[in-house]
Amino acid sequence: KRDAWYQFSERVTGCSSGIGRAIAELVASKPGQRLIATARNPSSLSYLPNNDAILKLALDVTLTTSVEAAFKTAADHFGDNFHIDVVVNNAGYELAGDTEAATEEEMHGQLETNFFGTVRVATNATRVMRQSKDRRGGIIFNISSLAGVAAFPGQSFYHASKFAVEGWSESFARELHPDWNINVCIVEPGGVKTEFEHGSKKYTKTHEAYDGADMPARRLAAWVKKGVAAGAGVPPSAVAEALYLVASRNDK
């Protein structure tokens, strides 16, 4: 049985801005909760208070060595009580532009961060979660997107990365033994008001031109666009509140 909220600890990747920052701020505002907040440049985490419950770490999810080092530092910092109850795999960006305009480096970079970064952090986390003797387990939120549900033109590698997150998460969730009590949760936000990076934007067509394209998945694309438009006004704090609610239910 999972311990109470006061022992809740959370790890969030990509906390420098947007959704990750909103989640880190929310967790940090709850008394007695531990937080491991990560960013490529930890100086971007100065908005968080300085205390023993909050560990600010440098983490680049594209580097295995960086991910492993961050987990080791966290384990050393929290000592015998170290456990991770909640992981938020949030770090990500969008490579926007025509498919043929993307370089090898750009297309690999998109998958390295959004997909393999998620895999690296999640698998390091499950190794920690599995060690709990009392089936305490935990929950892993993998931030996908509506772009992981259906695809429209002009960001094919972003879609590929989020579809990969979805397929991998579903398979990995079923791979985890029920006794370990670990849940993997796919999160599919629509539009969220953040500084979300849209990559190179190397378009030979505009998005508007794509809108008129006769594409096989047109109905799905329209559905996604409707979803994104519906969420256009959603602040990152709304995503943070939703995840916090789900995590606290998981805790019971």
What residues are annotated to the active site? Answer: 144, 158, 162
61 lines the binding site for ligand NDP (CB under 6 A): yes
Q: What is d(CA 84, CA 93) in angstroms, rounded to the nearest whole number?
A: 25
Write the DSSP string, 176-238.
S-GGG-EEEEEE----B-S----TT-B-SS-HHHHHT---TTHHHHHHHHHHHHHTTTB-HHH
7 lines the binding site for ligand NDP (CB under 6 A): no
237 lines the binding site for ligand NDP (CB under 6 A): no
Q: Give residues 170-209 in contact with ligand NDP (rule: CB under 6 A).
A: 189, 191-192, 194-197
Stretch that binds ligand NDP, among 36-44, 75-83, 126-134, 175-183 (CB under 6 A): 36-44
SS (H, E, C) 93-109: CCCCECHHHCCHHHHHH
Q: What is d(CA 4, CA 34) in angstroms, rounded to the nearest whole number?
A: 12
Binding mask 133-172 for ligand NDP (x = CB under 6 A): ----------x-x---------------------------
Q: What is d(CA 224, CA 231) in angstroms, rounded to the nearest whole number?
A: 11
Task: Output the six-digit token pair for 23.
Answer: 């989640």
Kindly state the helix (H) or strand (E) to which residue 175 belongs, with its residue range.
Answer: helix 156-175
**Which member of 8, 10, 27, 60 binds ligand NDP (CB under 6 A)?**
60
CB 72 to ligand NDP: min, Å: 17
User: CB 70: neighbour CB atoms within 10 A?
Assistant: 23
Stretch that binds ligand NDP, among 17-25, 99-107, 170-178, 207-215 (CB under 6 A): 17-25
Instruction: Kindly determine how many residues on this chain lie close enough to bind ligand NDP according to the rule CB under 6 A.
Output: 32
* Nearer CB in complex with ligand NDP: 194/250: 194
Residues 6+ apart with CB under 8 A from 63: none
**Site for ligand NDP, rule CB under 6 A:** 13-20, 39-41, 44, 59-62, 90-93, 113, 117, 143, 145, 189, 191-192, 194-197, 236
